[in-house]
């Protein structure tokens, strides 16, 4: 093996750092380790180079956060198109500005590459790759495994590896660690390993990567301490936990909590619709209680990378242990049925008007999985659109963030966003509101549509005449 990675000494923090960082208390149980001490020095002086693998909605904001803290950051991605865009100093994610990218590229403090040989030069390597499900709803760890194999090939003494991708408890230790050990290096003495779950919320204007508390758990003692110290240089609050499994389980719990509660209000929506009760007003009324209640809202189905997927990682792991996670399975079943419920409500509404779904012209409004972002991951719009098309409807869509819809793993649409204007709206037999983007003129939609299927309650209060509006 080569000599330990060299970290230049520095007596002061980079000028980018605007606040003093108080060092994390060092556990007395840590044994002396030359490589760890060198890396700790590099972290505290911000001379350590950060390598981030996966430059999507998690990796790119994280790269910005470390860059703003004064670190030199290298981004790695297998998507050559993304890499070339970043090399030009541009962003491909709407909520990530070009400014820091162009500044970093010009200053030589941020770069992107598809050449993983450059991992040799990194002191800290952070994995931010997708963790999807297989068609049979089992964890697909192929991205994590492939990334770990690339790291193992170039792993050097003194490097810290951190997994951020959401997964089931035990993944870092049971999947990533054995692959890294194929390098011949030893955990805790030659290299260090930790897990720190991403907590990104695209489009959130209040919380971002720098301000959301960061959980950190080490597989080895030095790994947990070094990772905590590294994140503390860039993130406002870092919360160390006992080990990687605790951090992995905490992130799964966060997403299961949301999945189960969203499933509850989705189920109540279907019941209250039959009882002619407005679920949205019910939630608003219940939310006046100042304790013991948190408002969750129904929708057309779950979207985004976390909530529709992550709970099934734990249910799969539970089956391996001989346990059935009934709450998780039931919540998943209810939430995955919501696109079909939207289609059924659409068909019922057309039937009452003497029309059939087959042959009708329909418009999906909003393809993103949530409002005001250019993110299509697991969006229920695809499933609703597909089901309506399968039943004979002639479908179009409008979304201000997607003039065309790029292909996903499951769907490849050859469609173009249609403009929203009175003539266009009047040409459709129905429109289904999937995403409540704020830049859409909803009053115009209400005034000029013959039939609206509203899954977001965005039309509430826009018209006294509600005969052509159906909540779903």
Is-contact 387 343, C-beta < 8 A? yes
Judge if 216 and 308 occupy the same domain: no
Q: Which residues neighbour 400 within 8 Å (Cβ) at sequence distance 6 or greater?
A: 417, 437, 439, 440
Are 194 and 297 members of one domain? no
Q: What was the pLDDT predicted at 204?
A: 85
Residue 16 included in any domain? no
| Model pLDDT, residue 22 | 67
What are the backbone angles phi and psi of residue 270, rounded to the nearest 5°?
Answer: -65, -35
Please name the residue that has the structure tokens 């679920």: 279
Residue 306 is a catalytic residue: yes
Q: Among 176, 219, 238, 306, which one carries the catalytic annotation?
A: 306
pLDDT tens digits for 7-29?
554 433 444 444 567 667 787 77
Query: Which position has the token pair 């991403």?
Result: 198
For residues 134 and 282, which has the higher predicted lDDT (pLDDT)? 282
Clarify whether residues 213 and 302 are in a common domain. no
Please check whether residues 289 and 408 belong to one and the same domain.
yes
Residues 132 and 273 occupy one common structural domain: no
In the prediction, which pLDDT does 19 show? 52
pLDDT of residue 185: 98
324 and 466 inside one domain: yes
Query: Is 234 found in the same domain as 268?
Result: no
Domain assignment present for 8:
no
* Residue tagged 């993304």 (tokens): 82
Per-residue model confidence (pLDDT) at position 7: 57
Question: Which CATH number goes with the domain that contains 171?
Answer: 3.40.50.720
| pLDDT value, residue 2 | 43
Which tens digits make up the pLDDT trace of 157-194? Answer: 999 999 999 999 999 999 999 999 999 999 999 999 99
CA 52 – CA 42 distance, rounded (Å): 17
Domain that holds residue 387: 255-471
Is 260 a domain residue?
A: yes
Give the lowest-confidence range in 219-223, 263-267, 313-317, 432-436. 313-317
Percentage of the chain with pLDDT > 90? 85
The pLDDT value given to residue 400: 96
Cα 439-443-448 angle, rounded to 5 deg: 115
Nearest to 459 by CA among 365, 383, 391: 365
DSSP per-residue letters across 2-51: PPPPP----SS--TT--SPPPPPPPPTTPPP-HHHHHHHHHHHTT-SEEE
Q: Say whether both 318 and 385 belong to one domain.
A: yes
Question: Among 242, 267, 292, where does a domain finish?
Answer: 242
Task: Calculate mean pLDDT across residues 449-472.
Answer: 94
Q: How high is the pLDDT of residue 11?
A: 36
Instruction: Assess whether 160 and 305 both reside in one domain.
Output: no
Q: 351 with 467, same domain?
A: yes
Domain termination site, one of 242, 267, 284: 242
Tell me the mean pLDDT in the region 60-75: 97
Q: Where is the domain boundary, 242, 277, 311?
A: 242
* 181 and 220 housed in the same domain: yes
Residues 6+ apart with CB under 8 A from 291: none
Residue 264 sits in the same domain as residue 167: no
Q: What is the mean pLDDT of residues 420-432?
A: 97
Instruction: Note the pLDDT of residue 146.
Output: 98
b/e burial code for range 422-431 (CB count within 10 A of at least 16 → b): eebbeebbbb
Q: Is residue 23 part of a domain?
A: no
Average pLDDT along the chain: 93
As given in the structure block, the two tokens for residue 151 are 């790291």
- Domain count within the chain: 2
As beta bridge partners, residue 239 has: 215
């Amino acid at each position: 093996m080569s000599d330990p990675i060299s970290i230049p000494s520095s007596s002061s923090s980079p000028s980018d750092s605007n606040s003093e960082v108080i060092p994390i208390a060092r556990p007395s149980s840590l044994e002396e380790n030359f490589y760890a001490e060198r890396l700790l020095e590099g972290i505290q002086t911000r001379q350590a180079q950060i390598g981030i693998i996966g430059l999507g909605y998690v990796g790119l904001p994280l790269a910005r956060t470390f860059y703003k803290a004064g670190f030199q950051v290298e981004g790695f991605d297998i998507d050559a198109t993304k890499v070339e865009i970043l090399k030009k100093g541009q962003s491909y994610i709407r909520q990530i500005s070009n400014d820091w990218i162009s500044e970093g590229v010009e200053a030589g403090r941020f770069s992107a590459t598809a050449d993983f040989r450059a991992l040799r030069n990194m002191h800290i390597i952070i994995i931010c790759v997708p963790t999807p499900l297989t068609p049979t709803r089992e964890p697909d760890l192929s991205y994590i495994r492939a990334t770990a194999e690339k790291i193992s090939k170039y792993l050097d003494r003194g490097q810290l590896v951190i997994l951020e991708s959401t997964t089931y408890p035990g993944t870092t230790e049971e999947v990533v660690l054995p692959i890294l050990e194929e390098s011949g290096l030893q955990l805790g003495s030659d290299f260090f390993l930790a897990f720190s779950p991403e907590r990104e919320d695209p489009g959130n204007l209040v919380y971002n990567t720098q301000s959301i508390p960061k959980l950190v758990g080490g597989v080895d003692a030095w790994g947990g301490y070094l990772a905590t110290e590294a994140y503390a240089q860039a993130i406002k609050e870092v919360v160390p936990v006992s080990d990687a499994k605790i951090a992995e389980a905490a992130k799964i719990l966060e997403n299961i909590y949301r999945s189960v509660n969203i499933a509850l209000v989705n189920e109540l929506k279907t019941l209250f619709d039959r009882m002619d009760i407005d679920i949205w007003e019910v939630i608003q009324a219940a939310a006046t209680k100042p304790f013991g209640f948190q408002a969750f809202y129904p929708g057309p189905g779950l979207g985004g990378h976390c909530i529709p997927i992550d709970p099934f990682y734990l249910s799969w792991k539970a089956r391996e242990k001989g346990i059935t996670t009934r709450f998780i399975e039931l919540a998943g079943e209810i939430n995955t049925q919501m696109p079909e419920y939207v289609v059924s409500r659409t068909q019922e509404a057309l039937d009452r008007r003497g029309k059939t779904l087959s042959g009708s012209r329909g418009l999906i409004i909003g393809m993103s999985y949530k409002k005001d972002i250019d993110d299509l991951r697991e969006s229920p719009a695809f499933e609703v659109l597909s089901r309506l098309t399968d039943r004979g409807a002639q479908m179009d869509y409008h979304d201000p963030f997607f003039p065309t819809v790029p292909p996903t793993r499951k769907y490849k649409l050859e469609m173009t966003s249609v403009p929203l204007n009175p003539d266009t709206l009047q040409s459709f037999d129905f429109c289904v509101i999937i995403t409540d983007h704020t830049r859409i003129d909803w009053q115009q939609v209400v005034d000029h549509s013959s039939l609206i299927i509203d899954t977001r309650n965005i039309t509430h209060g826009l018209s006294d005449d509600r005969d052509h509006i159906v909540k779903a």
